[in-house]
């Protein structure tokens, strides 16, 4: 080893010693009065039981932002640890990796039943076994590095290549790997003594011999063991016991919803059928009255005029490219029969847009959060369409969207978004009005150059100026332009002062224009980011409403299960905290008491009304 490498190792060892010493000092200073509490296990003398006197509040019910983080760590931390253990096992093909996979599936098979306090000693024994196995594997891999990097020659005479592959005996030190490659490259071509060893060393992956995944898995396992001995996990254990008791309640609620939906859908179809029958009867009655009026002595024959009747040729639409194909003017077939009831508008009474029709039902599942699936804003596609309709003027687009989103009707909202503003409408009306009149004269004065010519529109400001100028009339695009040639005269001091003041005004105007342009540019950039933010918010709101509509049934089931869980904790608190009672016995007691909030379809209707 080089001296530089040795000095680097000493620095790392010194830093490690300092960290360990500081941690040891903190361990000695820990006490029960510390705000963070003690790191000791809550289970004294190996008495594993659920305790009601929990000093920490129930973070499962509070539902604050910090409580959500606690919920993820304590409720799902064991699943994350198992995933890391599986990653350590699936990352290699040695016997060490096989042990990780076996232990992980051994614990995953039980699921949350491991954490119901029933036989909790065996649960902790499994986790301790997994932690000890991880330590043993890391020690074995470190020990095998001596063989893979230093004593690799002992494998050659005994032909232990399968053993090397089975336990991943490969060198992971870059310096040693370089020395081995140099050693193999310097061998003569006819030397077969180390040829098998070289091929065996190249046949495996040296990354399997590293302890990276093992160290990460060990870190998660140690953290999970600390969680298993904490007060917070006791709250989770009560939740796990309630979930085991309510294992089949979700399926029962879904079946009840299916039966309720089938029943209400049948009733809805019957209502629509009765409405169709009533309208058909009204049509028949009206037709019979028309036939009765058109029959008998002195009756007036009723001849309805509809789109199916023959009309004169003068009514032919002039925009129709092929009027001969119009069915109104096509010659009747030789075997045609006149229709008795054409079903035209004269047979109906009422207006479909005004009549009180039966509205279609989107879903028969009760909505536990009113308005969760409603989206009364412009979606991202409509926002982009509005921006294109405004010629990508984002400032006008944002103003128009803000006004349009106050409208509840979806169609009117979109029409109001793409419609021009009131000022634009007034300008359009004024332009149409002035199109048939003479074009107006411009009221501004434009300085052409530094010579004697000026372009002046409209009447002059004083008669004295008119007398000092000669008129020259010209027309450009139908707009009269009056050009005046200024009489040449000797400049007086007053004219010089006036010219200097004019130049100052021009410079000030240029500075003002520059500031206005910079302000407009900054405002355009701000409006661009505001429009992007608006699109993102609209997309999130739209996708939230879409997912709420899709998950309406599941949200209802989760809502009922949460209410029943609260009822279960209130009515059977003593049984839940008794770790000696198994989950099956708790489920039987829960079913025998019949404390379900929803037991039938009528309960669903009652729950929906309340």
Long-range contacts of 119-124 (CB under 8 A, 24+ apart): 120/48, 120/579, 121/46, 121/48, 123/228, 124/48, 124/225, 124/228
CA pair distance 557, 438, nearest whole angstrom: 74
SS3 358: coil
Tokens of 424: 């634009």
Full residue range of the structural domain in which residue 134 is found: 43-245
- Mean pLDDT over 507-517 rounds to 75
Q: Which uninterrupted H or E stretch holds 479?
A: strand 479-486
In a domain, 531, yes or no: no
pLDDT the model gives residue 181: 56
Which pLDDT band holds residue 100 (cuts at 50, 70, 90)? very high
Least confident piece of the model among 98-102, 144-148, 315-319, 371-375: 315-319
pLDDT at 8 over 50: yes
pTM above 0.85, yes or no: no
In a domain, 127, yes or no: yes
SS3 455: strand
pLDDT at 430 over 60: no
Distances (CA, A) of 166 to 98, 134, 139, 363: 11, 18, 17, 59
Q: What are the tens digits of pLDDT across the range 547-584?
A: 998 888 888 888 888 888 888 888 888 888 887 888 78
Contacts of 292 (CB under 8 A, 6+ apart): none
DSSP secondary-structure letter at 113? G
- Mean pLDDT over 74-81 rounds to 93
Tokens of 528: 């661009």
Helix axes 380-389, 394-404, angle to 10 degrees: 130
pLDDT the model gives residue 170: 76
In a domain, 91, yes or no: yes
- C-beta separation of 124 from 228 below 8 A: yes
Most confident option among 98-107, 354-363, 394-403, 489-498:
98-107
pLDDT at 509 over 80: no
CA pair distance 401, 438, nearest whole angstrom: 38
Q: Which residues pair with 483 in a beta bridge?
A: 455, 472
Strands 453-456 and 445-446: antiparallel
pLDDT the model gives residue 558: 87
Which pLDDT band holds residue 343 (cuts at 50, 70, 90)? low
pLDDT at 314 over 80: no
pLDDT, the chain, mean: 73
Strands 469-476 and 453-456: unpaired
pLDDT the model gives residue 489: 46
What's the first-to-final CA gap in the chain, in angstroms? 79
Task: Look up tokens 């309720």; give the residue.
Answer: 260
Torsion of CA 451, 453, 455, 457, to 10 degrees: 130
- Mean pLDDT over 114-120 rounds to 84
pLDDT at 478 over 50: no
Q: What are the tens digits of pLDDT across the range 198-207?
A: 556 555 566 6
Quick one: what percent of the chain has pLDDT higher than 70?
Answer: 63
In a domain, 450, yes or no: no
- C-beta separation of 207 from 242 below 8 A: no
pLDDT at 312 over 90: no
Most confident option among 83-87, 308-312, 363-367, 398-402:
83-87
pLDDT the model gives residue 446: 38
pLDDT the model gives residue 469: 41
Least confident piece of the model among 77-81, 237-241, 377-381, 453-457: 453-457
pLDDT the model gives residue 139: 92
Q: Which uninterrupted H or E stretch holds 456?
A: strand 453-456
Tokens of 369: 């959060």
Q: What string of DSSP letters covers 556-583?
A: HHHHHHHHHHHHHHHHSHHHHT-TTS-H
Least confident piece of the model among 124-138, 281-295, 526-540: 281-295
CA pair distance 497, 503, nearest whole angstrom: 10
Closest CA to 370 of 552, 600, 597: 552
* Residue 87 main-chain phi, psi, to 5 deg: -65, -40
Least confident piece of the model among 125-129, 135-139, 567-571: 567-571
CA pair distance 102, 86, nearest whole angstrom: 9
In a domain, 497, yes or no: no
Tokens of 358: 């039966």
CA pair distance 504, 220, nearest whole angstrom: 75
Counting the structural domains of the chain, the total is 1
CA pair distance 216, 11, nearest whole angstrom: 24
Higher-pLDDT residue of 524 and 174 is 524
Cα angle 111, 116, 122; round to 5: 75
Tokens of 260: 């309720």
Higher-pLDDT residue of 581 and 354 is 581
pLDDT at 538 over 50: yes
In a domain, 78, yes or no: yes
Which pLDDT band holds residue 474 (cuts at 50, 70, 90)? very low
CA pair distance 119, 125, nearest whole angstrom: 10
In a domain, 230, yes or no: yes
Q: What string of DSSP letters covers 242-294?
A: HHHHTTTHHHHHHHHHHHHHHHHHHHHHHHHHHHHHHHHHHHHHHHHHHHHHT
CA pair distance 610, 608, nearest whole angstrom: 5
- Mean pLDDT over 402-423 rounds to 76
pLDDT the model gives residue 542: 92
Higher-pLDDT residue of 258 and 486 is 258
In a domain, 261, yes or no: no
CA pair distance 125, 375, nearest whole angstrom: 52
Which pLDDT band holds residue 386 (cuts at 50, 70, 90)? confident
- C-beta separation of 273 from 152 below 8 A: no
């Amino acid at each position: 080893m080089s001296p530089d490498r040795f000095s680097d190792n000493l620095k790392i060892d010194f830093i490690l010693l300092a960290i360990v010493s500081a941690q040891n000092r903190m361990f000695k200073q820990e006490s029960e009065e510390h705000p963070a509490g003690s790191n000791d296990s809550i289970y004294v003398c190996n008495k594993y039981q659920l305790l009601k006197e929990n000093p920490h509040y129930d973070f499962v019910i509070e539902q604050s932002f910090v409580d959500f983080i606690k919920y993820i760590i304590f409720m799902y931390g064991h699943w994350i640890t198992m995933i890391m253990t599986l990653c350590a096992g699936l990352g290699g093909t040695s016997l060490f990796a096989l042990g990780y996979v076996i232990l992980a599936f051994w614990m995953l098979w039980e699921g949350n039943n491991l954490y119901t306090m029933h036989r909790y000693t065996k649960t902790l024994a499994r986790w301790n076994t997994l932690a000890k196995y991880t330590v043993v594997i890391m020690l074995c891999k470190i020990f095998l590095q001596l063989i893979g990097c230093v004593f690799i020659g002992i494998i050659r005479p005994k032909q232990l290549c399968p053993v090397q592959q089975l336990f991943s005996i490969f060198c992971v030190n870059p310096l040693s790997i370089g020395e081995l490659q140099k050693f193999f490259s310097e061998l003569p071509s006819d030397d077969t003594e180390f040829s098998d060893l070289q091929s065996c060393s190249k046949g495996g992956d040296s990354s399997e011999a590293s302890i990276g995944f093992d160290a990460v898995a060990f870190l998660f396992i140690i953290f999970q063991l600390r969680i298993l001995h904490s007060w917070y996990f006791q709250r989770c254990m009560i939740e796990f016991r309630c979930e085991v008791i309510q294992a089949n309640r979700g399926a029962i609620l879904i079946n009840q919803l299916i039966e309720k939906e089938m029943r209400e859908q049948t009733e809805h179809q019957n209502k629509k059928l009765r409405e169709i029958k009533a309208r058909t009867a009204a049509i028949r009655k009206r037709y019979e009255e028309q036939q009765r009026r058109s029959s008998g002595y002195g009756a007036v024959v009723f001849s309805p005029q509809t789109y199916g009747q023959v009309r004169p040729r003068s009514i032919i639409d002039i925009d129709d490219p092929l009027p001969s194909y119009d069915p109104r003017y096509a010659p009747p077939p030789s075997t045609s029969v006149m229709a008795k009831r054409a079903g035209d508008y004269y047979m109906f009474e009422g207006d479909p847009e005004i009549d009180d029709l039966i509205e279609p039902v989107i879903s028969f599942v009760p909505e536990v959060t009113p308005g969760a699936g409603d989206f009364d804003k412009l979606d991202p596609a409509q926002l982009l369409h509005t921006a294109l309709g405004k010629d990508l003027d984002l400032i006008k687009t944002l103003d128009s969207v803000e006004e349009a989103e106050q409208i509840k009707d979806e169609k009117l909202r979109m029409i109001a978004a793409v419609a021009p503003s009131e000022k634009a409408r007034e300008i359009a009306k004024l332009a149409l009005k002035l199109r048939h009149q003479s074009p107006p004269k411009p009221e501004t004065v434009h300085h052409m150059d530094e010579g004697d010519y000026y372009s002046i529109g409209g009447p002059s400001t004083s008669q004295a100026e008119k007398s000092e100028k000669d008129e020259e009339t010209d027309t450009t695009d139908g707009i009269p332009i009056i050009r005046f040639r200024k009489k040449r005269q000797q400049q007086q001091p007053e004219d010089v002062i006036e010219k200097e003041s004019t130049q100052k005004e021009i410079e000030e105007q240029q500075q003002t224009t520059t500031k206005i342009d910079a302000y407009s540019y900054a405002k355009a950039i701000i409006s661009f980011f505001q429009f992007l933010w608006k699109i993102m918010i609209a997309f999130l709101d739209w996708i939230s409403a879409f997912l709420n509509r899709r998950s309406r049934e599941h949200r209802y089931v989760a809502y009922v299960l949460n209410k029943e869980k609260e009822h279960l904790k209130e009515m059977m608190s003593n049984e839940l905290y008794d770790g000696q009672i198994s989950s099956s016995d708790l489920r039987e007691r829960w079913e025998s008491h019949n404390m379900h909030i929803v037991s039938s379809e009528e309960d669903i209707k009652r729950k929906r009304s309340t």
